[in-house]
């Protein structure tokens, strides 16, 4: 069952959302804002901490929410990009699911699908969180010890494990040789 505004208000006031701003409560969601940590694999430096970034057409950036969540063991959350930004061809792609017991800032994968550059600013409302109550708490929640243990985030994820995606390692090794020869790090392989 989707949690209503009064549940979100109580959750925020109890420290479940930090910082918590009552004006960001909607009837069935909570607006989250952009933080100031950005990772853009097409730029040098790739990772920056600044108040704003211009996202060019076709470009992708990892960002974080300013808000830090402390999810209960029996509630999950679905992140949805603000529809007003979607109408400007900004897209939040890939993951938007937040597990029960998650603690951390939410990582956002933002892409400019439109024909014009878009300025993203720390503090701007970017997405809304829809909280959903579970039938019962899981056997092993996010961050707990067990066979499916995961932990929270405080910043954007900067590197992917080499074995995470199947790749043609001959091409990967060639790219690494070229990057090393040019003096650049291979941060996404």
pLDDT under 70: residue ranges of the chain? 146-189
Say what the pLDDT of residue 44 is: 86
Instruction: Specify whether the CB–CB gap between 188 and 160 falls below 8 A.
Output: yes
Say what the pLDDT of residue 42 is: 84
Based on the domain organization, do 140 and 186 belong to the same domain?
A: no
Based on the domain organization, do 186 and 130 belong to the same domain?
A: no
Residue 45 makes CB contacts below 8 A (sequence gap 6+) with none
Catalytic residue among 59, 109, 144, 176: 109
Based on the domain organization, do 145 and 166 belong to the same domain?
A: no
Based on the domain organization, do 29 and 67 belong to the same domain?
A: yes
- 109 belongs to the catalytic site: yes
Say what the pLDDT of residue 96 is: 86
> Which residue range(s) make up the domain with 113?
5-158
Q: Is the dihedral of CA 167, 60, 185, 104 positive or negative?
A: negative
Q: How many independent structural domains does the chain possess?
A: 2
Of 186, 158, 187, the C-alpha closest to 37 is 158
Based on the domain organization, do 94 and 118 belong to the same domain?
A: yes
Based on the domain organization, do 107 and 131 belong to the same domain?
A: yes
End-to-end Cα distance, the chain = 40
Q: What CATH number does the domain containing 139 carry?
A: 2.70.40.10
Tokens linked to 77: 């959350």
Based on the domain organization, do 147 and 171 belong to the same domain?
A: no
> pTM, whole model, 2 decimals?
0.77
Say what the pLDDT of residue 21 is: 98
- Number of Cβ within a 10 Å radius of residue 165: 8
Say what the pLDDT of residue 184 is: 52
């Amino acid at each position: 069952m989707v949690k209503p505004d009064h549940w979100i208000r109580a959750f925020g006031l109890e420290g479940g959302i930090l910082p918590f701003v009552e004006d960001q409560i909607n009837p069935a969601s909570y607006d989250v804002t952009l933080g100031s940590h950005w990772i853009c694999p097409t730029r040098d430096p790739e990772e920056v901490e600044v108040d704003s970034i211009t996202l060019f057409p076709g470009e992708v950036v990892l960002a974080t929410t300013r808000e830090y969540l402390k999810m209960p063991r029996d509630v999950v959350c679905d992140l949805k990009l603000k529809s007003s930004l979607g109408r400007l061809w900004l897209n939040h792609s890939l993951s938007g699911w937040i597990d029960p017991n998650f603690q951390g800032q939410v990582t956002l994968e933002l892409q400019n699908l439109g024909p014009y550059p878009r300025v993203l600013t720390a503090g701007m409302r970017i997405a809304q969180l829809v909280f959903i109550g579970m039938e019962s708490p899981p056997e092993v929640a996010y961050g707990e010890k067990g066979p499916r243990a995961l932990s929270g985030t405080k910043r954007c994820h900067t590197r992917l494990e080499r074995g995470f995606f199947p790749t043609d390692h001959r091409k990967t090794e060639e790219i690494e040789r070229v990057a090393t020869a040019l003096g650049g790090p291979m941060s996404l392989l």
